[in-house]
A = this chain, B = another copy of it.
């Protein structure tokens, strides 16, 4: 008699599809029905890679050789690791040896490989609340436990080093810091970055810094915690937001050899090598100085969209509370004054807003316990006109409630 083969129950117990896929499914259904949905939900750029880059990649494809199609070293081609080291230096970051860099198949693959190398069952990771929702399932999958430290709008979402210190125990293996932040758009202050790096050093734990949005900054500048504790700090990076090819899957990790060795082994085991064509594209992007062209398009445009969003919020939702994003693509907008009296949480509101007003947002509840009445709004994808219209509709719906 046939018997069912067994699976590992730990996978389903700890992992789940990205929560944004729920919104995506509903949004796709509405789109198929011919509805025009305004997208404030996506975490990807609204502007594709610059023409010069696309043309240069197309040119590579003319060559009749395996060069651009073959496997690469599992940590990426040497020329790209050298270019990344120079790029980081040029951005005001630390001096790195190219061997301290592992090129990965995107930022998610970078996080996966880094956390797999650090975490063991029974360990803990300190995160801010709110934070990017991608971390908790990974931490659980590796048998560890997330421990949250609240950050508050009133304090510009700066994590308090004292509050972090209180959560450190014998079980703590790492602190994760996202800056520029998803979902709040804050940049961490330099004294906070320094204090967190020193905490990591003093306690013999890791500080993982997710720097996905480090070049998407509208006010202020990126801080580099690595400089304060190079044996303890790891940078998690991506080419998804700039040059703008998230689907091509390219990112990198930098850090001390102690972490780079095992993280490379995990990265290789999970994917063998990062995608070759994306690597050659990134190499051209850095070496030909194409970022200045991309950012010259993207930064003023994203700023205009962000400003329109803030202005519309002040006009149509005067009781909404938010930090006007200093970096990244997002604002986290607290609608407590509207939703609490109406007896709705953010997830219910987000669904209603999509169904009734055709505006897609991500409920704050996906980012932690604290943003119970907040929604994350992306200003990267839609035009200022459509962003304004979306906020107007949010106001309309909230008035009705």
Q: Which residues of A contact B (CB under 8 A)?
A: 1-8, 10-12, 15-18, 21, 44-49, 51, 54-55, 57-58, 61-62, 64-66, 68-74, 105-109, 112, 116-120, 137-138, 141, 173-174, 200-206, 229, 231-232, 244-249, 258-259, 261-262, 264-266, 268-278
Q: Is the pair A247, B117 in contact by a Cβ cutoff of 8 Å?
A: no
Which of A7, A18, A246: most chain B Cβ within 10 A? A7
What are the residues of chain B within 8 A of A1 when measuring CB–CB? Answer: 202
Check if B48 sits within 8 Å of A71, measured CB to CB: no
Q: How many angstroms from the CA of A258 to the CA of B2 in the assembled complex?
A: 15
10 A-B Cβ contacts within 8 A? A2-B232, A7-B259, A11-B266, A12-B262, A46-B66, A55-B61, A71-B247, A105-B249, A109-B271, A275-B275
Question: Within 8 Å CB of A174, what residues of B?
Answer: 5
Contacting residue for A258 out of B4, B15, B138, B266, CB 8 A: B4
A173 to B315, CA, bound (A): 61
Q: A248: which B residues are within 8 A, CB to CB?
A: 69, 275-277
- CB pair B173–A6 under 8 Å, yes or no, is yes
- Decide yes or no: A8 and B247 within 8 Å by CB, A106-B272, A269-B141 being known contacts: no
On chain B, the residues within 8 Å of A259 by CB distance are: 5, 7
Residue of B nearest to A57 (CB): B61
The chain B residue sitting closest to A24, CB to CB, is: B73
Is there an interface contact between A246 and B62, defined as CB atoms closer than 8 Å? no
Could you tell me the distance between the alpha carbons of A244 and B10 in the complex, rounded to whole angstroms? 36
List B contacts of A205 (CB < 8 A). Answer: 5-6
